[in-house]
A and B are shown apart, each in its own frame.
Chain A
Amino acid sequence: MLDHELINRTLSTAMSTGGDFAEVFVEDKRSSSAVLDDGRVEELTSGRDRGAGVRVVVGDTTGFAHTADLSEAGLRSAAEAAATAARGGGGGAKTIAVSPIEVARRAPARIPPEDVAKATKVGLLTLANEAARSEGAAISQVSARYGDSRRRILVANSDGLLAEDDQVRTLFSVSCVATGDTGLQTGRESTGRTVGFELFEETDVEDMGRRAAQRAITKLAARPAPSGAIPVVVGPGGGGVLFHEACGHGLEADLIAKGASVFANRIGDEVASPLVTLIDDGTMAGEWGHFAIDDEGRPAAHNVLIQDGVLTDYMWDQLRARKEGRPSSGNGRRQSYQHLPMVRMTNTYITAGQDDPADIIAATDHGVYVAQLGGGQVNTATGDFVFGMTEAYLIENGEIAEPIREGNLIGNGPEVLTRIDMLGDDFQMGSPGTCGKDGQGVPVGDGTPTLRVTSLTVGGTAA
């Protein structure tokens, strides 16, 4: 993406005020999307963002600047700005020579999005719309969205590292509104993978449309959700959001270092039910949080965070790892070249257990079954977290009963982890997510088998 000599000169400029570490991150991202709403293809959008971010680290201080100008002058000016911001103490020029690191070869997108005609992409929207509307007259509104992106990145730093990646992601979603005597209800389906247009060889968009529609129609009959603490069974796939919030964020080394996590100083402790093995894995090919290198040039890795209930490690980026004298775990990510990297999850999941999912429901006398989860949020310092349920049912006498209206569930991470008493053998990855932290969003995946939490607080309106 950039001439190596130009990279070397830019890094040398960045280090010229005596930095301890300097890095150039170059990004060229093309994206396209198409939206169908209200029965017609409403809009196609194309986007192009390219630029470079330069950071310089001096002691505990990071200086950062970015530019959309990839010329020598533009890069030099960003490098100077970052060096000034980092307040280098001055001193010697340092010559940098970068060389490519070995990264496991990855299959590129088999069908790159730019090779697919716009009419073909738009055709998917129409199929999904018609399938959703065919589910019944109660479906009053349908929107469908197709999106793809191709993000090429280059990372080079003053340690001599040079790495590149080419990340293609494709996303499809359908949202329906059903209208009935009880008002309006919504149903949504989404799929997203780090692949090209071949996504649609394995994804049936008409089926997605039908499922989104059924979800909305089912919820028309939903009764108010209970209010208060109750056993909760979470279906396969979706439960990843629970762990993402309950402990994922709390295991990010930047929050640990600031004492802003309930999991600080807990390595080696039993922090979860012995059923729980939690893994963060950027190497899972095709998954939404997959990449070859993170946004600091480190290879994606398979990191065991909790093994049989015992906390084994945190997630690390370059900055925090450097301070601790250990390698990065490949979790340094950023939204774009305009952002500083920080510790982020990739694909976070709980490994499968032994229980038959049917037995988990049958063993629950009275509770809530969450079939689809929405987003969540956590306060890592207190451990209190919420996550939304967008399709849920009561469990009565060991059977799934009436649907309930949507809402949030709230719990405390360390407590909830110890309250997982059944784990299914039906592992699945969940829906693609965008994880937000300090104003930056990055794509993440998650997964779980069916699981039961003995007690979580459901935020409904029924007494």
Chain B
Amino acid sequence: MTVPESTRLARRLVGQAQPGEQIEVCAGSAVRTEVRVHGGMVESLTVAESRGVGVRVIVDGREGFAHAGTFDADVVDELVAEARDNAVFAEPDDRVGLAEPDGVVAVDLDPWDDRIASTSVDDKLALAVELERATIGADQRVRNVRTSLYADTRAESAIVSSLGVDGWDRGSSCSLSTSALIDDPDGSTRTGGAVDAAGAPQELDVEKVARLAVERGVQLIGAGPPTTGRPMVVLEPRFAATMLGIVAGMLSGERVVKGRTPFADRLGESVAAAALSVMDDPTDPESLAASSFDGEGIACRRVPLITGGVLDGFLHDSRSARGLDTVTTGSALRGVRGTPSPGHRSLSVAPGEGDLERFISSIDDGLLVASLQGLHSGVNAVSGDLSVGVEGVMIRNGQLAEPIREGTLAGAIPRVLLDIAAVGADLERLPGGSLVPTLVLEGLTLGGGSAA
């Protein structure tokens, strides 16, 4: 097999290491196709390749970094010197250093499907056109579609270091998404969106995306502000994954080392309802987020986070691991434009009991969430405060009742985990790769403008 250009480039730059210096080079390229369709016409079609190189130089516990969006020699050849110069101005620390290969053999994954490259642009266009048509056709109340989008990427990257790391990985995936604009008889508009992702265009389910987007919007027709209260909150797998993703973000080893998470001193303690077991599993070949190597070239592996409600571990890269006298969990995330930091790739929840329908039928006063808004401004991973905008459908006496919008859901994340009332058995593989069931939460405050 020929050596990829990214590997050759990375090896060449690593070869410039001087005595006493550690160098790591991450180099990669991606080819992206993106089609936006509106009104039956192609609104835009982008076909482009991008490249990038990131260089880390470490001298005497000081780290410097430089990156460039090209493989061109005139720019790339300056990177090592620039990163080296940057290292001079950092202050030394024992935690700073590249990852040492730890002998763990990477799972042999090749999340690559040649059909992404071999499918014609016309066929990709047709998918987005068909999705728009199916969305509009799914219900007569659909007025329009904001955007019908097909996108795919084929990416490859190499990571090479002076400590002996030399990995190369590739991945491809594609997705379809739509957002339906639905007429509410009161003159306002409701929206519903859906996305599907797959390894190849042939596996994307146009009808399902259209149907889900429209169902999600139509169920909100007639919605108004809720009354303030504390209903049971039912999170379908896609929202359960969002919530658990926030939690996993708070379990980053770097946050623990720096005291930026309420879970820092909680290892071995009960932090969640006993029904909850969640791990990060980037080794599952069924996940589109699966990966053989992490951002430091260390083998990805399963990382138990919460087991039976007990905090079992944190997500580490080599630097955060050094800070806690432990070893990396192969959880370094990075792009070529930045240095690694630990995080999750593909959460996997152990199945509990029950499913969405059964939960709804057993709840007297509840809310089935239909959309969450303001996650970036409403989640403080340090304090644990959670406060987001919400749309949904109220549950009364075991039945779906009136839809609501312009509400807020608020609580403290550590409390929310302990107040998980049920973990479903209805595991769903989400477009982002996670494998998550329905969750039912207690104790969140639903806020609204409607008088009680």
B259 and A227 within 8 A (CB): no
Q: By CB atoms of chain B within 10 A, which of A67, A381, A383, A387 has the most?
A: A381
Q: How far is the CB of B265 from chain A (nearest CB, A)?
A: 11
A410 to B121, CA, bound (A): 41
A259 proximity list for chain B (CB < 8 A): 143-144, 181
Q: Are A382 and B409 in contact (CB under 8 A)?
A: no
Indicate which residue in A45, A379, A382, A461 contacts B445 across the interface (CB closer than 8 Å).
Answer: A461
**Residue from A45, A184, A255, A258 within 8 A of B382 (CB atoms):** A184
What 0/1 readout, one digit per residue, does chain A (405-433) give for beta carbons within 8 Å of chain B?
A: 11111111000000000000000000000
Name the B residues within 8 Å of A127 (CB-CB). none
* Segment among A13-21, A161-169, A200-208, A370-378 that sits at the interface with chain B: A370-378
Q: Which of these, B44, B45, B410, B449, contacts A407 with CB under 8 Å?
A: B410
> By the criterion CB–CB under 8 Å, are B374 and A455 in contact?
no
The listed residue with most B CB atoms (<10 A of its CB), out of A46, A50, A183, is: A46
Q: Do B374 and A43 touch across chains, with their CB atoms under 8 A apart?
A: no
The residue of chain A having its C-beta at the shortest distance from the C-beta of B55 within the complex is A46
Please encode chain B, from 279 to 302, with 1 for each CB lying within 8 Å of some chain A CB and 0 for all others.
Answer: 000000000000000000000000
Q: Which residue of A lies closest to B388 (CB)?
A: A408
Given A68-B51, A228-B228: A184 in contact with B189 (beta carbons within 8 A): no
Within 8 A of A (CB), among B89-116: 89-91, 93
A124: min CB distance to chain B, Å: 12
Contacts of B143 in A (CB 8 A): 259
Q: Is the CB of B389 within 8 A of A459?
A: yes
Question: In the bound complex, do residue B228 and residue A377 qualify as a contact, i.e. CB atoms below 8 Å apart?
Answer: no
- Asked if A384 CB lies within 8 Å of chain B CBs, one says yes
CB neighbours (8 Å) of A115 from chain B are none
Q: Which stretch in A56-64, A271-279, A296-304, A352-360 binds the other chain?
A: A56-64
* Cα of A63 to Cα of B121 in the assembled complex, Å: 12
Does A459 contact B46, Cβ atoms closer than 8 Å? no
**Cβ of B144 and Cβ of A68 under 8 Å apart?**
no
Stretch with Cβ within 8 A of A (4 or more), from B2-10, B69-77, B153-161: B69-77
- Contact status A59-B41, CB under 8 Å: yes
Given contacts A64-B46, A461-B411, contact A140 B89 (CB under 8 A): no
Q: Are B410 and A461 in contact (CB under 8 A)?
A: yes
Say whether, besides A258-B38, A388-B377, A457 and B447 are in contact (CB < 8 Å).
yes
Q: Which of A79-87, A280-288, A394-402 participates in binding chain B?
A: A79-87
- Contact (Cβ within 8 A) A375 B377: yes
Q: Which of B59-67, B237-245, B420-428 contacts A (4 or more CB under 8 A)?
A: B59-67
Looking at the assembled complex, report how far the CB atom of A29 sits from the nearest CB atom of chain B, in whole angstroms. Answer: 9
Residues on the B chain within 8 Å of A338, using CB: 48, 50
Query: Are A460 and B378 within 8 A (Cβ)?
Result: no
Contacts of A228 in B (CB 8 A): 228, 447-449
Chain B CB within 8 A of A98 CB: no
Contacting residues, chain B, for A47 (C-beta < 8 A): 66-69, 337
Separation of A121 and B262 alpha carbons in the complex (Å): 32
Mark out the residues of chain A between 67 and 95 whose CB falls within 8 Å of any chain B CB in the assembled complex.
67-69, 78, 81, 85-87
Q: Given A68-B69, A459-B408, does the pair A61, B43 have CB atoms closer than 8 Å? A: yes
- Rounded to whole angstroms, the CA-CA distance of A54 and B49 in the bound complex is 13
Q: Does B304 contact A (CB under 8 A)?
A: no
Decide: A408 near B389, CB < 8 A? Known: A40-B93, A44-B90, A458-B447. Answer: yes
| Complex Cα spacing A230 to B65, Å | 48
What is the CB-to-nearest-CB distance from B292 to chain A, in angstroms, rounded to a whole number?
27
Chain B residues with Cβ below 8 Å from A376 are 374, 377
Shortest distance from the beta carbon of A238 to any chain B beta carbon, whole Å: 12
- The distance from the CB of A435 to the nearest CB of chain B, in whole angstroms, is 12
CB closest chain-B residue, reference A182: B383
With a cutoff of 8 Å between Cβ atoms, the chain B residues found around residue A455 in the complex are: 449
B339 within 8 A of A: yes
Chain B CB count within 10 A is highest, among A227, A405, A462, for: A227
Known: A44-B64, A68-B69, A184-B383. A227 touches B410 (CB 8 A): yes
Known: A62-B45, A65-B48. A227 touches B146 (CB 8 A): no
User: B39 interface residue, CB < 8 Å from A?
Assistant: yes
B203 part of interface (Cβ distance < 8 Å): no
Asked if B133 is an interface residue, CB under 8 A from chain A, the answer is no
Which residues of A from 239 to 259 have beta carbons under 8 Å from B? 255, 258-259
- Are the C-beta atoms of A407 and B385 separated by less than 8 Å? yes
Nearest A residue to B39, CB-CB? A60
B324 in the interface (beta carbon within 8 A): no
A311 at the interface (CB under 8 A from B): no
A460 touches B191 (CB 8 A): no
Q: Is the CB of B374 within 8 A of A377?
A: yes
Cβ of B196 within 8 Å of any chain A Cβ, yes or no, is no
A331 at the interface (CB under 8 A from B): no
B135 within 8 A of A: no
B377: contacting residue among A38, A63, A86, A387, CB under 8 A: A387
Chain B residues within 8 Å of A212, by CB:
none
Identify B448's interface contact among A43, A46, A66, A457, CB under 8 A.
Answer: A457
> Complex Cα distance A269/B447, Å?
31
Cβ of B270 under 8 Å from chain A: no
B355 CB-CB contact with A under 8 Å: no
Say whether A377 contacts B377, CB under 8 Å.
yes
A85-B406 CB under 8 A given contacts A43-B64, A45-B67: no
A460 touches B75 (CB 8 A): no
Q: Is the CB of B69 within 8 A of A50?
A: yes
Interface positions, chain B 1-57, Cβ under 8 Å from A, are 38-39, 41-51
- A179 & B259 in contact (Cβ 8 Å cutoff): yes
> In the bound complex, how far is the Cα of B225 from the Cα of A228, in angstroms?
10
* Cα-based distance from A38 to B319 in the complex (angstroms): 13
| Contact indicator A384/B258 (Cβ below 8 Å) | no
Residue of B nearest to A229 (CB): B449
Q: How far is the CB of B132 from chain A (nearest CB, A)?
A: 12
Cα-based distance from A376 to B374 in the complex (angstroms): 6
Given contacts A46-B82, A118-B89, A408-B378, contact A81 B384 (CB under 8 A): no
Residue pair B448, A183 in contact (C-beta under 8 Å) = no
Q: Is the CB of B258 within 8 A of A141?
A: yes
Hey, which chain A residues are within 8 Å of B86, CB to CB? 43-46, 118
Across the two chains, which residue of chain B brings its CB closest to A40?
A: B91
Q: A42-B90, A408-B377, A457-B447 are in contact. Are A66 and B405 (CB under 8 A)?
A: no
Query: Is B89 touching A459 in the complex (CB atoms < 8 A)?
Result: no
Give the most central of A69, A122, A177, A258: most B CB within 10 Å: A258
B407 adjacent to A410 (CB under 8 Å): yes
Cβ contacts A432-448/B at 8 Å (1 or 0 each): 00000010000000000
Residue pair A48, B69 in contact (C-beta under 8 Å): yes
A43 touches B90 (CB 8 A): yes
Query: Do A66 and B48 touch (CB < 8 A)?
Result: yes
> With A41-B89, A260-B181, A388-B374 in contact, is A408–B449 under 8 Å at CB?
no
Distance in angstroms from B79 CB to nearest chain A CB is: 8
Q: Which residues of A sit under 8 angstroms from B42, Cβ to Cβ?
A: 60-61, 87
Can you name 21 A-B residue pairings with CB atoms under 8 Å? A38-B258, A40-B90, A40-B91, A43-B339, A45-B86, A46-B67, A47-B67, A61-B45, A62-B45, A64-B47, A141-B258, A375-B374, A382-B191, A384-B406, A386-B389, A407-B410, A408-B387, A408-B389, A410-B374, A459-B408, A460-B408
> Which A residues lie at the B interface, using CB under 8 A?
34, 37-38, 40-51, 59-69, 78, 81, 85-87, 118-119, 122, 140-141, 177, 179, 183-186, 219, 225, 227-229, 255, 258-260, 262, 338, 340, 374-377, 379, 381-388, 405-412, 438, 455, 457-463
Top 4 closest A-B pairs, CB basis? A459-B408, A407-B387, A388-B377, A386-B374
New A-B pairs, 18, CB < 8 Å, besides A60-B41, A225-B387: A45-B86, A48-B78, A60-B43, A65-B46, A68-B71, A118-B86, A177-B260, A225-B410, A229-B448, A258-B38, A375-B376, A377-B376, A381-B189, A406-B387, A457-B408, A459-B408, A461-B412, A461-B445
